Every structure is written in C-alpha cells, then in structure tokens.
Structure 1
Amino acid sequence: GIAVSIEFLGPLSVAVITGKSWRERVGIGIAAVGVVLLAGISLANPSGNGAFLYGLIAILIGGSMWGMYIITGRRVAAGGNSLDNLCIAVTIGWLVQSLFLGVPAVAHVVHPKADATWALEPGGSLKLLALLFVISLMASFIPYVVEQITLRRTTSGAFSVMQSINPAMAVAVGLAFGEIPSVGEIVGVALVICAVIVTFSGDAAPADVQ
C-alpha cells in the first residue's frame, strides 16, 4: 500500500506539468502530504541496513515509468492498431529484460531453488512453467488489453482516477498476508487517493470518441 501510494507521484507529476487548472496544484499538495507521511513513518521504523532507501529509489523510478506509461499508452490506444503496437512493445520489453534476467530465469526453471520444494518434485519444472504462464496471462496480457480498450474511450486523467483504487487494493492484499497498516499509513494512502480524484475528476471526455 505504501509503495503503490508513493508511486502515484508519477501520474500526479505529469498532471502538474501538463495541467493548467487549480486541481493539479491542490492535488499534488494533498499527495505530497500523504507521501511525506508515508515516507516519514517508514523512515521512523526502518527495516534495517537502509533497505527502505533502496526501496524508495525503486518506487520513485517505478512511479516515473507509470506516468510515462499513461501518456504513451493513451497515444498508442488512440493511434490505431493499438493491440498490435502493444504486442510489439511487450516483446521489446521482454527482450530488454532478458538481457539481464534471461539466464537466471532459465536456470531457476531447470534447477529450482531448494526453498521451492514443490518445484523439486517430479514434473516440478512443468508446474513452474505453467504457473509462469498463468501469471503472465493475468498480470500482463489481460490487464494491458483492458487498459488499451479503456484508454481509447477516456482521457489519461480519467484513467488515473480509475487507478486510484490501486493503493487501497495494495493495502487489502497486504492485509491478506498479515501486513497490518498503522493509522498514519491508512491516512497517507487515503490522502493519495483523494489527491488523484481531485486532480483528474474534472477531465472532459476525449473529443475523438463517439
């Protein structure tokens, strides 16, 4: 929940840079309070060895990529052949990732680590490949296709409002795995969600959509 909330700085920063209304300024102010609250709580309760600072850097990079995705995704969706272009983009991303992750990924499938006991059983590699396929289908293919369809019918701002539920969902997933947020963290997440709604709720529908 904390990570996803801080990541929203990316889409909100895009709104501040490109927007001209009072909503963007008010929204980024609310979000800043929420993020500072979340970061302050995490810094006050570090996990050790500066792990949070490394995580924060990764989160901020992810947030900037999220903002870029919303802008470029809207252009791809409005440009025609959006699903074809999406397939090309995902393939390029896979190739770039494989330069760094391909060898260890294949090695893990062929020789699973000892902590994955079920993968060490007979046929474990096939089970692992099946699991990877399901994850790729549910985490990449279906969401990206749905997002492309949605981005063709709405503005990037309205799309961001729809995604403002993500921090709350991240908190809910954390709860399912025993990650109990503090009152301050809940307030911080709520502030970020409010900031997104305030910033983008006034966007008009795109003119090219019938």
Structure 2
Amino acid sequence: MKKIFITTFLLFSICFSVFAQRRFPDISPKDLPVELVDKLNINEDVEKKLNKAYVRLQEDVINTMIIAKKEGDINQEDLKVELNGYRQKHLKKVKDFMPDTAYTTYEEFIMLDRRERREYILVLKLKLTPDQKEKYDAIQASNEQVISKIKEQYKGDREAMRDALIPLKKQQFQMLAQVLTEEQMEILKASVPKRGNRQPID
C-alpha cells in the first residue's frame, strides 16, 4: 500500500512539473534573490528557514494559477485576493523567526506585485548612488505614466500595445544610459525578459 502511494505521488509530481512547464514556462520555485538576502542581513539559519518557506509560497501560488488557468474564465480580483491570502499566511509564519528589521523589509518585498518585485531586485543589483537613484526614479516614473496611457489607448489589443511600447523602451534605455555606468547598463539589459518567456512567480 505504501509503495502504491509513493508511486502515485511521484507520478503526480512528474505530471505536475510537465504541465507547469508547458503552461507557465520557467516558473519553478526558486530561492530568494541573493541581493535581497544581503539586504535583509540575516544569519544562515534564518536564511535557510526563509528560503524553505519562500519556496512553499511559490508552490502554493503556482498551484493556484495552474488550477485557475485550467478552469478558464479567471476572475482576476478573486485570484488576487486568494494569492494575497497565501502571502499573508506566509508572512505570519516567517515573522516568528525573523528579526524585526529584516521582517519589515521582507514584508514590503512580498506584498509587491510581480513586476514591482522584479524592479525592486533590479535596483538592488544596480547599486545606485544617491544621485543615480534620484535620476533613475524620475525616468522610471515618467516612463510609467506613458505606459499607463499606452495601455489605456490600446486596451484589448495586446499586439498593438506591444508595438507601441517598443520605441518607448528604447527611449527609456537611452535616457538611463546617460545615468548608469556601462556595467550597470549590462545588468539592466540582462534583466529584460526575453519575448515569449515568462518570469518566475516569486
């Protein structure tokens, strides 16, 4: 009986992995970004516990999104509420073993949406000077305003929206090149998702 259970579990795990990779490329659970771990300034034991909990959070999120995708007709608001519930549960768990200062920073990170978390980690990687940070934020804020207008203008037409965003992205990079060093620009370019390749859910 035990062998049957183990075999069934292994088969389910394999099927889940294959299905996940087909539906959501490159979303396998990952440890926390090293840049965030450095910022949290936590010891090895806390880091190990936090990574374990973080991976579990990602698994819960991935499972939920796969089920929602399979069922079709996703209600984004309901999905958002459910995913936030997982995050709150996760935060409650890790608060027990995290230092207060580290927890505050981590909570801020976890409650960001996927795009905001990606930007948060990118800024940590860039290691901006105060002057660079001020200029970088100004460029990004201006860019966000234009993006919002484009999204509103081409609402429902993803292809047209994508085409409209391409020159904007080029302009943004040109402006950032005046602020960042060559090394920082390489980091920035490496952070841009390849077309058709989703980012991990973290």
* TM-score where L is the length of structure 2: 0.33
Q: Which one scores higher on RCO, CA 8 angstroms, separation ≥ 6?
A: 1
* TM-score where L is the length of structure 1: 0.32
